[in-house]
Structure 1
Amino acid sequence: MSNANFLFELGTQELPPKSLLTLSSALEDSITAQLKDLGLAHGKVTRYATPRRLTVIIESLDVQQADRQECRRGPSLKAPEKAAQGFARSCGVSLEDLAVLDTDKGQYYEFDRQIKGSNTLDLLAQVIDNALASLPIAKRMRWGASRNEFVRPVQWFILSLGNVLVETQLFNLNNGHTSRGHRFHSQGEIGIDSALSYAQQLRSEGHVIVDFDERKSMIRKQILEQASALNAIAVIDENLLDEVTGLVEWPVCLTGNFDKSFLDLPAQALISSMKEHQKYFHFVDQTGDILPLFLTVSNIISKDPSRVIEGNERVIRPRLADAAFFFENDKKSTLESRNENLGKVVFQAKLGTVLAKTERVSQLASHIAELIGADSAMAARAGALCKADLNTDMVLEFADLQGLMGHVYALNDGEDATVAAALEQHYWPKFSGDRLPESAVASSVAIADRLDTLVGLFGIGQPPTGSKDPYALRRATVGLLRIIIEQDLQLDLATLLSSSYDLHSQLPISVEKVQPQLLSFVFDRLRAYYEDQQVAVDIYLAVMENKSNSLLDFDLRVKAVSGFLKLDTAPALTASNKRVSNILSKNGAGMAAFDTTLLVEPSEQVLSDALQQVKHANLKAIGQGNYHDALQGLAQLSGPLDQFFSDIMVMSDDSVLRNNRLALLSELQVELGRVADISLLAH
């Protein structure tokens, strides 16, 4: 079958830079998935994305579907005639046109026909319509008098196979072979010769680098070159790099300066001003201190770059001056004095104000600090001040400075350094892989803050549902898990949930309902936590069968089971345990306790002796939380248990012997499952 190269370019006004990669990837995925469903084979697929275009190029796409045979079996000849007539109508033929198929079960009507494959050109318009309709666009817009909707106004498009245009319209626009180049460095339309010449033509004739990754690499290279020339270290935020790559079609990096007096501001405030508002990169010296430099990525090649730099310096100066004013003004009031206004800020309509939340967090943090050996007074103080910086001008202007400014202002107020640091660190970890609080006081506040939110929202019947999680409870829970597990904090989760519940006033759902629901939610998140660490799900399920409400205890069991699975005897012991479980589930547990005087065969005596040794050792090991040694000790049961099953008929005709052997297996099963249900482990 012959093939040709496919080209689709959708030209628009400037697309949202943060959504550019997502839109580009989704467009490619949808097109290729549809082509697969249509049975159209193809070669290499390339996608391009710039601020003004989304493009997909597919090499060697089949120009026609292969013919296919359609065979449908209908009702039996013995079925009512109406059923046969209905089947014929669904096939578009009369009853007489149906064939009769002989089978082992009788005769059936059959419809058999050859379907000629469609021309690919006739299918592509619908493919593109479907792909555009399915793009993940949060909010579509209209433009002009048209009722068409897209993320941004569409201005042109190319849809071709080989050099043949697909006969269709998109957004009331006609298909054509022409594209457009750079908004400032290109004039008029560019005639595209072919899909394979597309990228080079836009580069040479349109001054556009259509490859997102190439533009990104160019920007990174220019940043590093300029950093080297300045004897500085460039701080390249990957998210910011992606964003600025989505803002330009021909990147040019330029470096400017700002007044050194602004270095008196907290470094993060400078970074936020430059990064969030101006999309600038910053530089640091060899010691990590921020330098009075910034780098901007321009979309034009200026004849006089110094004028572009001067313009950016004029823009950043008032931004930093505003930050300096906010900073100095904020320091005139203490953090504690700002708490009063938190009483006017609603945390959640049914859960009261932010001030009420901080009062609960303060009490709970103090209690947690006592449990983990931290300073309860410091934890209470940090909890009371943990949201005060929400009322500062700096945080109102730069929301990402929440917590950090609390730290800075607390030190300015003369608060203890540990308390001040906790105001910033109780938000940690903010995202996957982020750092954890650095002190037990900060951890106490971090745990209390998350528990208060979880208990409150579950208590008013607003847990996360499906993909909706407006209060980021899943992320908060993962942070809670990481703090407790990775910092080895021995805490009973159920008790903490009850303590937090008691601090809330008049939650409509009782603690008896909230606690188990929330525990289930937390342990579900724990499963995801272990999956991220490449822990097999059967290990998690095995420990869940014998879990406590201590997350640290759960983690110790998981690690012990992971170590157990590395033993040579683990597969055999796991298989034998499954056999024990099957026997007991079908026949019961026998006697209340097995009687050693009824052990008549050497193999059952050996197993009994080995079991008693393991029980004694496990009693000590598990009592010390040493699950690793407890599971390792089970290995000595492997041989005796295999021999037992080889020599002994458990289901003896003698009911006394049978019930005693079942009782022995029942006690064995209990011992094998003290750490985790190893019968659930897969090999």
Structure 2
Amino acid sequence: MKYNFLLEIGTEELPSKILCDISEKLTNRIILKFKEKNIIFKKKKIFASPRRLGIQLTELYYLHKKKFNTGPSTEYALNKNGTLNSIAYAWIKKYNLKKKQIIYIKNKKKIFLSYKLKKIKIQILIKKIIKKILSKFYLIKLMKWGHCKERFIRPVKNIILLLNKNIIKLNIFQINTKREIYGNPYIYNKKITINNPAEYTEKILKLGQVINNFKKRRNKIKNDIINIVNKIEGKVKIKKNILNEITSLVEWPKICLAKFKKKFIRIPKEFVIHILENFQKCIPIYNQLKKLTKYFIFISNIQPKNMHFITAGNQKVINARLNDANFFYKNDLKKIFEKNYFKLKNIIFHKKIGNLLEKTKRLQILIITISKKNMINIKYAIRSAYLSKCDLLTQIVTEFPEMKGIAGMYYAKKNKEKKEIYTAIKEHYKPCFSNDNLPKNNLSSILSIVDKIDNLTGMFIINKQPKGKNDLFGLRRITIGIIKIIIQNKIKINLNKIVKTNINLYTPKKKNKKKKIHENILKFIENKVLEYYIKLGYKKNIVYFILLQNSIKNLLFINKIIINTHDFLNYKHKNSIIKIYKRINNFLKKNENIKNKNINIKLIHHKEEKKILYLTTKIKKKIKILLKQKKIKAIKQLLIFKKPINIFFKKITINKKNTYKKNNRILLIYNIKKIFLKIINFNLFI
């Protein structure tokens, strides 16, 4: 029999920033457990709104599996005429089987004796699964309320659990499952009876005034915003995270147009956008020239008769926040920005490792070495590190902490600093979640790297490194950021050296302890490098082996090897090339390996030797150019050696009495090996 299944958990308002994550985790766990218990379904619908989580499964049924026991061979269990003999009947008696349950497979000369599992009551099975999942739902910090023993993300008010027309009776969170749900609390806060899962979506939409499907609600909000903005000939940049958060705050969205006072356009646009998007969850509107206008969009969860009253209230709040920002901004401009530097000693970086002035001094020392390697103006580099934390003492950042970096950029610009310097101040805080979040220029990248390395080093020195799932200081995220910046922006840096220097800049420790901290930090970075490449789709065992063979100090070199290896593994003629290298390598193991002498052309007489020499010289030049382009082009060149190498080993004798000729021929082969290893470490495959 096939069923329709419905679960809805009615709660107090769920956290908007993680609503999608909560819904996804809950759904995935239910589906996974159902599959484990042989509960199959055809379609699923997921529901998520501020006050409800739900899932609907259609054509759900329990898959009864047959259990098989292997019987005796047909040679012994069947008579000559094909009927069962006494041996077969002994098996039948042992498993208490009926004749219909016996399956003959003569071609394999075996009899399989089968019997069905006992029928399972699907209602009881679902009840156990749902109770277990809800009572042990680990995702974020859970809440406890009243006298309820179980915990959940927010207090639970109502649970509906239906299988077709029947309620699956369950008591959890001191609540009994029912068939009644509640609609939008601001529009229709009454009970709605659900007779079967099929009518759920229509009833909650028409009666309850709730669009319970997250994607449909989000698409409606997005389309309505675009329609309103088009009417006033404006433009919008709808950020995915802001749109998701707005969608998570409303159940019956009403899109409204409002405006703030025109004078606030003079405030740096980042301040205005931040207040609109992050504080009030509004969408700023731009003109056709992509400049910020006084108009913005806000989303209401109700549709009152007097919308003007709601709009006026939102405008009042926005104007008040922008007025504060304007006041702080003007006050900050009255002060000399760089004078905040010495006041940084009053801000504690961490009580065990000092203040922000000490941190800034470390950054100035660390940035010099990396800047030299990357051809950065040293004066600009030191100056950017000097000013990097000065905005933390401004009034605007004190009120709006998320404005750090952006505020520093504006104040440094007003202070007539160079563009490279104020850009680096802005960008060094970038979180590096994706390639779009990375610093854009080299100075910004280097300042970001040294800032993150100093955070990482400091936490390891005071033994605050991540343990298990705990990562209070976000060191895993910081390290992935360092790796991304180095690789994506091609920053030359010796991680081994910079970490060692950083450790020495902190309070002096015992040598043994310093060495241990240094090893632990590099090992931690190495693990994150492995994780980084696995997430990009590279093979774990290959990346792991490359990291074992190479020092972590040069990430650009490691990146080059990993990409080359990945390209090679996807090349259709890879096995032929590996075979060539194996033959060369095996030969050189058995013969002397003369590395430091040049080939004597006068000793080359055979056409096979001449061919090898000609190809080696020709490919050396080609590969230098090709390695700067796509590496696979260089790899393809190696196939040229396939035929000449085979002929060479077949016709040329190495072990001549003439030592000079012998060494010359060994050098010919050794030079080919060097070409192979320039492109990729073929020792990975032998």
TM-score by length of 2: 0.82
1:351 shift after superposition: 2.6
* 1:225 and 2:223 are equivalent in the alignment: no
What letter is aligned with 1:219? I
SS in 2 for 1:59: strand
Letter of the structure 2 residue corresponding to residue 420 of structure 1: Y
Cα shift at 1:181? 0.9
- The alpha-carbon deviation at position 406 of structure 1 amounts to 0.5
Matches of 1:529 and 1:4 in 2, distance apart?
Answer: 43
Structure 1 CA distance, aligned partners of 2:295 and 2:204? 34
Query: Can you list the C-alpha shifts for 1:373-420, whole angstroms capped at 9, x where unaligned?
Result: 222112111101101111222112212211010011112233333322
Aligned to 1:107: none
Deviation at 1:484, TM superposition (A): 3.5
Closer, same or farther: CA 383–600 of 1 in aligned 2, 3 Å: closer
Note if 1:393 corresponds to 2:391. Answer: no
Cα distance in 2 between the residues matched to 1:72 and 1:26? 41
1:434 corresponds to: 436
Identity %: 27
SS of 2:436's partner is coil
Q: Distance in 2 between matches of 1:566 and 1:56?
A: 41
Deviation at 1:433? Answer: 1.7
Q: Does structure 1 residue 12 correspond to structure 2 residue 11?
A: yes
| Structure 2 match to 1:22 | 21
Q: Which residue of 2 aligns with 1:492?
A: 494
SS of 2:328's equivalent in the other structure is helix
- Give the aligned residue type for 2:139: I
Alignment partner of 2:64 out of 63, 66, 80: 66
Does 251-260 or 416-425 show the bigger shift? Answer: 416-425
The answer to whether the 8 A contact 1:67-1:117 is kept is no
Contact residue 590 and residue 659 of structure 1 kept, 8 A: no
- Counterpart CA distance in 2 for 1:526 and 1:442 is 22
Deviates more, 1:398-407 or 1:320-329: 320-329
Structure 2 equivalent of residue 272 of structure 1? 274
Query: Which amino acid is the alignment partner of residue 639 of structure 1?
Result: K
Structure 2: stretches of 5+ with no match in the other structure: 72-92, 97-112
How far off its partner does 1:60 sit?
1.4
- Counterpart of 2:344 in structure 1 is 342
Q: Secondary structure of 1:347's match?
A: strand
- 1:33-44 to 2 correspondences below 5 Å: 33-44=32-43
C-alpha change, 1:660 and 1:169, in structure 2 (3 Å) is farther
After TM superposition, list the pairs within 5 Å mapping 1:95-174 onto structure 2: 115-174=117-176
Tell me if 1:576 matches 2:574: no
Q: Secondary structure at the residue paired with 2:477? A: helix
Listed one character per residue, the Cα deviations across residues 226-256 of structure 1 (whole Å, up to 9, x for unaligned) are 1111221122121111111111111001111
When structure 1 is superposed on structure 2, of 241-250 and 477-486 the one drifting more is 477-486
Q: Which amino acid aligns with 1:591?
A: E
Q: Which residue is equivalent to 1:49?
A: 48
* 8 A contact 1:607–1:644 mirrored in 2: no
1:637 aligns with 2:646: no
Deviates more, 1:482-491 or 1:329-338: 482-491
CA 1:174–1:423: 2 relative to 1, 3 Å: same
CA spacing shift, 1:339–1:572, aligned 2, 3 Å: same
Q: 2: CA distance between counterparts of 1:670 and 1:526?
A: 27
Is contact 2:66–2:114 with CA below 8 Å preserved after alignment? Answer: no
Residues of 1 paired with 2:201 and 2:259: CA distance? 36
Matches within 5 A, 1:528-547: 528-531=531-534, 540=543, 544=547, 545=549
The change in CA–CA distance for 1:219 and 1:494 in structure 2 (over 3 A counts) is same
Partner of 1:316: 318
Any residues of structure 2 matched to 1:327-366 within 5 Å, and which? Answer: 327-366=329-368
Say if 1:408 and 1:168 are closer, same or farther in 2 by CA, change over 3 A. same
> Cα deviation per residue 1:495-554 (whole Å; 9 max; x = unaligned)?
333333343331566554454544444444444444555556677567654668433344
Find the counterpart in structure 2 of residue 481 from structure 1: 483
Describe how 1:161-560 pairs up with structure 2 within 5 A: 161-428=163-430, 430-507=432-509, 510=513, 512-531=515-534, 540=543, 544=547, 545=549, 549-558=553-562
Distance 2:470 2:605 in 1: 62
Q: 2:80 maps to what in 1? A: none
Q: Distance in 1 between matches of 2:7 and 2:664?
A: 76
Flag the 1:454–1:676 CA change in 2: closer, same or farther, 3 A: farther
Give the alignment partner of residue 677 of structure 2, picking from 651, 669, 673.
Answer: 673
Which residue does the alignment assign to 2:102?
none
- Is this contact kept in 2: 1:614–1:634, CA < 8 A? no
1:561–1:631 Cα contact (<8 Å) kept: no
| Distance of aligned partners of 1:457 and 1:139 in 2 relative to their CA distance in 1, 3 Å threshold | closer
Q: Deviations over 1:278-305 (max 9, x none)?
A: 1111111122221112211111011111
SS of 1:232's equivalent in the other structure is: coil
Structure 2: how far apart are the matches of 1:418 and 1:298?
42
| Alpha-carbon distance in structure 2 between the residues aligned to 1:193 and 1:277 | 41
- Post-superposition Cα deviations, 1:178-224, rounded to whole Å, max 9, x if no partner, equal 11111122142111121111000111111111111111111111111
Q: 1:72 to 1:359 in 2, by over 3 A?
A: farther
Separation in structure 2 between the aligned mates of residue 589 and residue 615 of structure 1, nearest angstrom? 26
Q: Deviations over 1:137-169 (max 9, x none)?
A: 312222233333221121111112111111221
Instruction: Pick which of 414-423 and 433-442 moved more.
Output: 433-442
* Shift in Å, 1:429: 5.6
- 1:617–1:275 Cα change, 3 Å: closer
Letter in 1 for 2:16: P
Alignment check: 8 A CA contact 1:68 1:116 kept: no
SS of residue paired to 1:282: strand
For the Cα contact (< 8 Å) 2:627–2:634, is it kept in 1?
no
Report the CA distance shift for 1:630/1:121 in structure 2 as closer, same or farther (over 3 A): closer
CA gap 1:455/1:167 in 2 versus in 1, 3 angstroms: closer
Is the alpha carbon distance of 1:496 and 1:541 closer, same or farther for their aligned partners in structure 2, counting shifts above 3 Å? same
The offset of 1:372, in angstroms, is 2.2
Distance in 1 (CA, whole Å) between partners of 2:628 and 2:204 is 70
Task: Tell me, in whole angstroms, the C-alpha distance in 2 between the residues paired with 1:676 and 1:287.
Answer: 50
| AA aligned opposite 2:308 | S
Distance (whole Å) between structure 2 residues aligned to residue 624 and residue 501 of structure 1: 36
Aligned partners of 2:405 and 2:429 also within 8 Å: yes
1:269/1:192 Cα in 2 relative to 1: closer, same or farther (>3 Å)? same
Q: 1:583-598 counterparts in 2 under 5 A?
A: 583=586, 589-593=590-594
Amino acid at match of 2:377: D
**Which stretch shows the higher mean deviation, 341-350 or 599-608?**
599-608
1-structure distance, mates of 2:655, 2:121: 70
Q: Deviations over 1:326-378 (max 9, x none)?
A: 21222232232222332132223433211111111112223332332222112
Post-superposition Cα deviations, 1:90-118, rounded to whole Å, max 9, x if no partner, equal xxxxxx9999xxxxxxxxxxx99854121
- Counterpart code for 2:19: L
C-alpha spacing 1:13/1:558, structure 2 compared with 1 (3 Å): closer
Change (3 A) 1:497 1:619: farther
Aligned length: 640
Which residue type is aligned with residue 117 of structure 1?
K
Quote the residue 1:89 is aligned against. Answer: none
Q: Would the aligned equivalents of 1:371 and 1:491 in 2 still touch at CA under 8 Å?
A: yes
1:424 Cα deviation (Å)?
0.7
- Matched to 2:40, the amino acid is A
Which runs of 5 or more residues in structure 1 are unaligned? 74-95, 100-110
Q: CA RMSD in A?
A: 4.1
Distance 2:171 2:652 in 1: 80
Q: Secondary structure at the match of 1:47?
A: strand
